[in-house]
Structure 1
Amino acid sequence: MYSSLFISHGAPNIILQDSLSKANIKSFARGLEKPKYIIIFSAHYVTNDLKIINYENNDLLYDFYGFEKELYEYEYEIKSDKSISLKIVKHLKENDINISIDNTRVNYDHGVWSCLSMMYDKLDIPVIQLSVPSSYTKEQLIDLGEKLAIFKDEALLIGSGGLTHNLSDMQVSDSIKTYAKNFNDEVINIINSGNQERLLEIAKTINYKQNHPRDEHFLPLFIIFGSAKNKKGKSFNSEFMYSNISMECFAFDLKD
Structure 2
Amino acid sequence: MMPAYFFAHGAPSLVLEQHAYTDFIKQFAGSTRKPKAIVLFSAHWEQTTQTISKVETYDTIYDFSGFQDELYSITYPAHGNPNLSEYIGALFAKHGIPSQFDDNRGLDHGAWAVLKLLYPDAGEIPVVALSVNRHLTNEQQYAIGSALAELREQDVLIIGSGGTVHNLRRLNWGSDGVDPWAGEFDNWLQSKIEAWDTDALFDYRSQAPFAQEAVPTNEHFIPLLIAMGAGSKNRTAKLLHRSYQFGNLSLSCWQFD
| Shared fold (TM-score, shorter chain, > 0.5) | yes
Q: How well do the aligned residues superpose, as a CA RMSD in angstroms?
A: 1.4
How far residue 57 of structure 1 moved from its aligned partner, in angstroms, is 4.1
Structure 2 residue runs of 5 or longer lacking an equivalent are: none
Structure 1 residue runs of 5 or longer lacking an equivalent are: none
- Is 1:174 the counterpart of 2:185? The answer is no
What does the per-residue CA deviation read over 1:108-131, in whole Å, with 9 as the maximum and x for residues that have no partner?
Answer: 000001011111121412101110
* Matches of 1:85 and 1:177, distance apart in 2: 41
Q: Write the mapping of 1:236-247 to structure 2, written as runs, cut at 5 A.
A: 236-247=240-251
What does the per-residue CA deviation read over 1:37-91, in whole Å, with 9 as the maximum and x for residues that have no partner?
Answer: 0111010001111111231442110111000010000122312111111111122
* Matches of 1:241 and 1:197, distance apart in 2: 30
Q: Which residue number in structure 1 is paired with residue 185 of structure 2?
A: 183
Deviates more, 1:201-210 or 1:155-164: 201-210
Q: Which residue number in structure 1 is paired with residue 201 of structure 2?
A: 199
Conservation of the 8 A alpha-carbon contact between 2:39 and 2:158: yes
Conservation of the 8 A alpha-carbon contact between 2:81 and 2:126: yes
Secondary structure at 1:204 match in 2 = helix
Q: Which residue number in structure 1 is paired with residue 217 of structure 2?
A: 214
* Matches of 1:181 and 1:165, distance apart in 2: 12
Conservation of the 8 A alpha-carbon contact between 1:49 and 1:134: no
Conservation of the 8 A alpha-carbon contact between 1:21 and 1:247: yes
* Matches of 2:125 and 2:25, distance apart in 1: 19
Of all paired residues, the percent bearing the same amino acid is: 33
Q: Which residue number in structure 2 is paired with residue 163 of structure 1?
A: 164
Conservation of the 8 A alpha-carbon contact between 2:57 and 2:77: no
Conservation of the 8 A alpha-carbon contact between 2:54 and 2:128: no
* Matches of 2:25 and 2:125, distance apart in 1: 19
Conservation of the 8 A alpha-carbon contact between 2:52 and 2:101: yes
How many residues get paired? 252
* Matches of 1:29 and 1:185, distance apart in 2: 27
How far residue 139 of structure 1 moved from its aligned partner, in angstroms, is 0.3
How far residue 20 of structure 1 moved from its aligned partner, in angstroms, is 0.8
Q: Write the mapping of 1:1-256 to structure 2, written as runs, cut at 5 A.
A: 1-103=1-103, 105-123=104-122, 124-154=124-154, 155-171=156-172, 172-205=174-207, 207-228=210-231, 229-253=233-257
Amino acid at match of 2:161: S
Conservation of the 8 A alpha-carbon contact between 1:8 and 1:247: yes
Q: Which runs of 4+ in 1 moved over 2 A?
A: 203-206, 229-232
Secondary structure at 1:121 match in 2 = coil
* Matches of 2:217 and 2:35, distance apart in 1: 32
Secondary structure at 2:61 match in 1 = coil
Conservation of the 8 A alpha-carbon contact between 1:25 and 1:236: no
* Matches of 2:91 and 2:186, distance apart in 1: 34
Provide closer, same or farther for how the CA distance between residues 61 and 181 of structure 1 changes in structure 2, counting only shifts above 3 A.
same
Conservation of the 8 A alpha-carbon contact between 2:51 and 2:99: yes
* Matches of 1:244 and 1:91, distance apart in 2: 37
Conservation of the 8 A alpha-carbon contact between 1:112 and 1:160: yes
Conservation of the 8 A alpha-carbon contact between 1:3 and 1:152: yes
* Matches of 1:138 and 1:246, distance apart in 2: 20
Amino acid at match of 1:63: D
